[in-house]
Amino acid sequence: ATSKECPLDKDELGRHTWGFLHTMAANYPEQPSEQQQRDMKDMMHLFSKFYPCNYCAEDLRETMKKYEPQTGSQEDFSQWMCKMHNIVNVKLGKPEFDCGLVNQRWRDGWKDGSCD
Ligand code: FAD
């Protein structure tokens, strides 16, 4: 049967997109080349022009003027992404995520083995 899935609403889009962005950051090179660093900065700037929630994208562009993408290493980029997400969390009245846990959440799985 044809599946009857529906277009993403703002929150579904957000959840899926953060999943992509944090996973991309989790897998970003430890020692990126100059070209990779430039490309990832470009990627985030272009992303912020096309993210399909206009006021979300506008706020992101404003935030990124203050906090340029940090693409020097996997650590730098993952922490930067965590900060971007936390700025949105605060704006929405959601709890801030502990950025010290970002690699467990998005790359390695939790230390208690619950993702194994
Ligand atoms: P989400 O915020 O989607 O988070 C998903 C999961 O990510 C969480 O369950 C948690 O495990 C993990 N997580 C949470 N915080 C962090 C962090 N700081 N670092 C790493 N992992 C984390 N919605 C609006 O209403 N207004 C906006 O202006 C807006 N702007 C957005 C801008 C962008 C670029 C994106 C991608 C989304 C935006 N959204 C916005 C959507 C919003 O951020 C949420 O995705 C949505 O409200 C659903 O929230 P959620 O509680 O399911 O968890």
Q: Relative to the CA of 82, which ligand 1 atom is closest? A: 19
Residue 18: what pLDDT?
98
With a pLDDT cut of 70, the percent of the chain lying above it is 99
pTM tops 0.95: yes
For the Cβ of 47 lying below 6 angstroms from any atom of ligand 1, the answer is: no
For the Cβ of 44 lying below 6 angstroms from any atom of ligand 1, the answer is: no
Q: Relative to the CA of 15, which ligand 1 atom is closest? A: 3
Domain boundary assignment for the chain: 10-107
Mind listing the pLDDT tens digit for each residue in 15-35?
A: 999 999 999 999 999 999 999
Instruction: Give the chain's mean pLDDT.
Output: 97
Distance between CA atoms of 23 and 1, rounded to whole angstroms?
Answer: 32
Q: What are phi and psi of 27, to 5 degrees?
A: -105, 10
Residue 113: what pLDDT?
97
* Domain 10-107 CATH (choose: 3.30.1490.190, 1.20.120.310, 1.20.1050.10, 2.40.110.10): 1.20.120.310
Q: How much distance in Å is there from the Cα of 94 to the middle of ligand 1?
A: 9
The number of C-alpha atoms within 13 Å of 10 and in the hemisphere containing its C-beta is: 6
Q: Which residue CA neighbors atom 16 of ligand 1 most closely?
A: 97
- DSSP state for residue 103 in the 8-state scheme: H
Residue 3: what pLDDT?
83
Mind listing the pLDDT tens digit for each residue in 63-73?
A: 999 999 999 99
Q: Relative to the CA of 59, which ligand 1 atom is closest? A: 28
Measured from the Cβ of residue 19, the count of other Cβ atoms closer than 10 Å reads 11
For the Cβ of 97 lying below 6 angstroms from any atom of ligand 1, the answer is: yes
Q: Is 29 helix (H, G, I), strand (E, B) or coil?
A: coil
Report residue 1's pLDDT band, with 50, 70 and 90 as the boundaries: low
Question: How far is residue 10 CA from its own chain's centroid?
Answer: 15
Residue 110 has pLDDT above 70, yes or no: yes
Report residue 2's pLDDT band, with 50, 70 and 90 as the boundaries: confident
